Amino acid sequence: MRVDKIIGLAKQGNHDALHDLIESHLPIVERFAYQIGVSANDVEDVTQEVFIRVFRFIDQFSGKTFSTWLYTITLNVARDYFKKTKREQNKIIALFREPTSTVSSDKETFQNEEDAFLHKAIQDLDQKYKVPLVLYYFHDKKIQEISQILSIPESTVKTRLSRAKSRLKKMIEEKGGEFDAK
């Protein structure tokens, strides 16, 4: 069944249609959330919040592509997550007056060190560079769609992609690796 038909049924309150939307888009949301910096331990919670918002606001879906709308919701939920995480970290730091270190399960997710290194390098980019890069290279979004998701001009998307590649190249070369971004 086509996505627009499923959305129409979901807007009418059909829970099976909503379930189908969730099932078909769950891996995309999880992968995107993780790639833009949500910790592996929190991806499930963020994904759940994304689909809660989809359920709550499906009747307000205006007809642009569903995936664009879904990426926008995911990005907003991730931003909320980052704010909350930062507040919690600041509270912990204030309590103990020493920096905290977090244990990451990234190594479990990646099959080799190169993938882990690339993921780490991407995570070290500013959000404004990381998000367009992830959408373009890992989610195969076109410049126009990224522009809509982020509500920025297409020229800005192109500039941010170019700068992200330059920054990644520099990081990789500093570590003695090679860089090949097409």
Provide the CATH number for the domain around residue 86.
Answer: 1.10.1740.10
The SS3 of residue 107 is helix
Domain match, 94 and 109 both: no
Consecutive H or E run containing 169: helix 154-174
From 103, 124, 147, the end of a domain falls on: 103
Mean local confidence (pLDDT), 138-155: 93
Long-range contact pairs involving 30-35 (C-beta distance under 8 Å, separation at least 24): 31/138, 31/139, 32/71, 32/74, 32/134, 32/135, 32/138, 32/139, 33/74, 33/77, 33/78, 34/109, 35/119, 35/122, 35/134, 35/138
For residue 145, give the nearest of 57, 75, 49, 77 by alpha carbon.
75
CA angle 74, 75, 77 (to 5 degrees): 65
Same domain, 57 and 114: no
Amino acid code (one letter) for 154: E
Task: Domain count for the chain, please give it.
Answer: 2
Nearest-angstrom CA–CA distance, 27 and 67: 12
**Same domain, yes or no: 90 and 175:** no
User: What pLDDT shows up at residue 128?
Assistant: 93
With 0-12 / 13-18 / 19 or more C-beta atoms within 10 angstroms meaning exposed / middle / buried, residue 35 is buried
User: Cα separations (Å) of 26 from 15, 67, 70, 148?
Assistant: 16, 11, 10, 21
Question: Worst-scoring range by mean pLDDT, 13-17, 86-90, 152-156?
Answer: 86-90
What distance in Å separates the CA atoms of residue 15 and residue 55, rounded to the nearest whole number?
9
42: its two tokens:
């929190």
Alpha-carbon span 63 to 59, nearest angstrom: 10
Q: What is the tens place of the pLDDT at every residue in 68-113?
A: 999 999 999 999 998 888 776 666 665 444 433 444 444 444 446 6
Boundary-marking domain end, from 88, 103, 118: 103
Of 103, 128, 152, the last residue of a domain is: 103
Which segment of 33-42, 55-64, 121-130 scores lowest on mean pLDDT? 55-64
Retrieve residue 63's tokens.
């007809």
176 shares a domain with 121: yes
Residue 20 lies in domain: 1-103
The verdict on 147 and 58 lying in the same domain is no
Q: Record the pTM.
A: 0.67
